[in-house]
Amino acid sequence: MLTRAYQFDLNSSGVAAGEPLLDVSGVSLRFGGIRALSDVSFRMRQGDIHAVIGPNGAGKSSMLNCVSGLYRPQEGRIQLHTVRDGEVGSTDLVTRKPHQIARLGVARSFQNIELFGHLSVLENLMLGRHIHMKHRVLAGMVWFGPARRQEFAHREFVEEVIDLLQLQAHRHAPVGALAYGIQKRVEFGRALCIEPSLLLLDEPMAGMNAEEKEDMARFVLDVNELRGVSVLIIEHDMSVIMDISSHITVLDFGKVIGDGTPTEIAQNDDVIRAYLGDDE
């Protein structure tokens, strides 16, 4: 748990807790003749840990790729709500490029680790600050005055993320030399360094042992409960999902077959059939 008052506010959307943050409406995605998503709709509220689950090939990662701008669906809308000048407005993410979506406060981690193995933990996390850098190449080459002050400010932010994720002992270690579970934690930290209001996590606990999963679940809960970051998560470990999620959307063959609280999903016959098969 966090034991000190951190200076950064990760909930940059300004949307009040419990109010709509992300609206996915009628999203369909095709790759040639393959339909990855079919008329997918769900709503995510500010402050939720919202899980997207389903069997392999259900379209979960494709959905996250649509939200983050890596894929552009042929149909539907994905609206992110933010407060501007005291009023709630919305932006359709379908029309935005990935870097524009990141600037709106949407960050993500990937199922397969996407870090720079030859760089240190600190350097990888500093890369997450790039969208907040104001001084450009020429100022950076001089590294005095405003450019130096800017780097120190971003370094202070990164050090707080290092403390939050208990990465102090690995600060200067090359990421490629670290254990897999620590690398996953570094990637999670790099996403936090973007200062997201919406954090997309694609199987953050894949390949971890039980202790590492417990640590990662605790970090996700800390970020959500204590910093107000809304989390859209994909994860195959159902015990973890049932423990930490406030809402769950279930996909099967690209279609929504269940949407509700963990208790409602656990009792949903369609979801049970999708995971366990139909005995009839």
The domains located in the chain, with CATH, are 20-114+199-276 (3.40.50.300)
- pLDDT computed for residue 3 by the predictor: 37
For residues 102 and 242, give the distance between their C-alpha atoms in angstroms, rounded to a whole number.
Answer: 28
Single pTM value for the model: 0.86
60 and 251 in contact (C-beta within 8 Å)? yes
Q: What are 165-207's pLDDT values in tens digits?
A: 999 999 999 999 999 999 999 999 999 988 899 999 999 998 8
55 and 275 in contact (C-beta within 8 Å)? yes
184 and 202 in contact (C-beta within 8 Å)? no
- pLDDT computed for residue 279 by the predictor: 52
- pLDDT computed for residue 151 by the predictor: 65
172 and 120 in contact (C-beta within 8 Å)? yes
- pLDDT computed for residue 83 by the predictor: 77
- pLDDT computed for residue 130 by the predictor: 74
For residues 184 and 148, give the distance between their C-alpha atoms in angstroms, rounded to a whole number.
Answer: 30
Query: Residues of the chain whose pLDDT is less than 50?
Result: 1-8, 137-138, 280
- Residue 142 main-chain phi, psi, to 5 deg: -75, -45
